[in-house]
Amino acid sequence: MFKKVLIANRGEIALRINRACHELGVATVAIFSDADRQSLHVRHADEAFCVGPGPVMRSYLNIPNIISAALISGCDAIHPGYGFLAENARFAEIAADHGLTFIGPKPAVINAMGDKATAKRLMREAGVPTTPGSDIVASVDEARAVSEKIGYPVLLKATAGGGGKGMRAVTGPQELPTAFATAQAEAEASFKDGRMYVEKLMPNPRHIEVQVLADEHGGVVHLGERDCSVQKPSHQKLIEEAPAPVLDPAIRARLHAIATTATRAVAYTNAGTLEFLVSGSDVYFMEMNTRIQVEHPVTELIYGVDLVKEQIRIAAGEALGFSQDDLHPHGHAIEVRVNAEDPQNNFAPAAGTLSTVVFPGGPGIRVDTHIYGGAIVPPFYDSMLAKIVAVGRTRESAILRMERALGETRIEGVKTTVDFCRELMNEPEFRAGGIGVGWLPAILARRAAAV
């Protein structure tokens, strides 16, 4: 096991990793920007280094300063969390060059899965069903040819894309030139990579993903699926749950089987997530996230497995301590992302000082957060303030528990998604389960029209 781990992240995930390290008896080193000097992740770590000013390029993405902090403090491993450098193969390589274990998959796998078009090709070769579509399309004309073959509507996607950037829905050929140009420009601006591909656009599919763990000795298990279909119009997840409700057991079993097959096929190691679109009985591989996900707690709560500890153990060379037969989910878990955003105003992010912070507690409630009364929300980073997770014996009890937990939550000083998500808990379609990714945008459109 490692002696000391540098946590190359901030916010709740930095705390999450710090917790796993401390429970494993591993010392921790935090990094922080000038804007995060008062953050809990700094206080809870055993050591902490300021690596730059507020803007991410100069701090949380500042590879030399981060690696230097790890070396100076005598770390033997780096945990990247999610976002920032988590899927940066170059960072993983540099860490390795300096004798630091990167807690994640091998750089080559990060690279292959990070390139969406390559990932799809590899998965197709492994027999995994992927969305009908193209490899890289070099021009509008190529895009038009593919689109006509697979049929409109289609989705133009940047191969380096993520978080909805460099993505455009196209309903017919006349929209294609503009959509292609703007999506490509966005991709170039965001990822310095303007390569595009085309995919069949599903009508309101469900977003269902499967969690896997793979050690370096050939051990591969899945930890079931998560339903992340409640997404903002920007395609960002807002509410996640496990298991996926009203899912045909045959489809569930197929998703799990595909996930472990694919994990083995690409020689994947560490924790990973395979994202699928599910539409009726059709299942299509979308992408693989080569890191821990924001929504991992819902899986932890129903499987009783600490995924971040497992990541660290795997990276330290340990074999998985359990097999697929040992893993049985109990109950149902739901996560709500508490973001500093205004749901009445297109989820515009907010920054400021939090005057009041009261989180829920009691049975079946888990809170992962870095905020506290008096904390400052800097303008530089992701707007997520906390994750509130509720677990119950049944989906209904988990929803009721989440509803009361959100009712107990008081965050004052910035607008948040708390009350909005509480309302969503009472939407009949959400209660029924099985909604698609178009559900929340449709609700928002309906509300906007009503005003």
- The residues assigned a catalytic role are 291
Chosen from a copy of itself, other proteins, none, partner binding at 379 (C-beta under 5 to 8 Å by type) = other proteins
In terms of CB distance, is 136 or 365 closer to a copy of itself?
Answer: 365
| Nearest-approach distance from CB 18 to a copy of itself, in angstroms | 8
Chosen from a copy of itself, other proteins, none, partner binding at 59 (C-beta under 5 to 8 Å by type) = other proteins
Among 145, 181, 319, 358, binds other proteins (CB under 8 A): 358
Both structure tokens of 221: 């298990």
Residue written as token pair 């920054």: 351
Among 3, 23, 57, 72, binds other proteins (CB under 8 A): 72
| Nearest-approach distance from CB 367 to other proteins, in angstroms | 18
Chosen from other proteins, a copy of itself, none, partner binding at 57 (C-beta under 5 to 8 Å by type) = none
Task: Name the strand (E) or helix (H) holding 150.
Answer: helix 140-150
Nearest of 209, 36, 26 to residue 103 by alpha carbon: 26
Residue 134 carries which side chain, given as an amino acid letter? S
| Nearest-approach distance from CB 341 to other proteins, in angstroms | 14
Chosen from other proteins, a copy of itself, none, partner binding at 352 (C-beta under 5 to 8 Å by type) = other proteins
CB 333 within 8 A of CB 243: no
The residue ranges that bind a copy of itself (CB under 8 A) are: 15-16, 19-20, 22-25, 40, 43-44, 297, 300, 304, 306, 308, 330-331, 356-359, 361-369, 372-374, 393, 397, 400-401, 403-404, 407-408, 410
Using CB atoms within 10 Å of the CB of residue 27, give its burial: 0 to 12 exposed, 13 to 18 middle, 19+ buried: middle
CA 374, CA 16: separation in Å to the nearest integer?
21
Q: Is the peptide bond before 243 cis (omega within 30 degrees of 0)?
A: yes
Q: Which positions ≥6 away from 139 have C-beta within 8 Å? A: none
- Under the binding rule (CB under 8 A), the answer on residue 65 touching other proteins is yes
Region of residue 119 (phi > 0: left; psi between -120 and 50: alpha; otherwise: beta)? alpha
| Nearest-approach distance from CB 300 to other proteins, in angstroms | 28
CB 163 within 8 A of CB 172: no
| Binding residues vs other proteins (CB under 8 A) | 34-35, 37-38, 40, 42-43, 48-54, 59, 64-69, 71-73, 98, 351-353, 355-356, 358, 372-376, 378-380, 410, 412
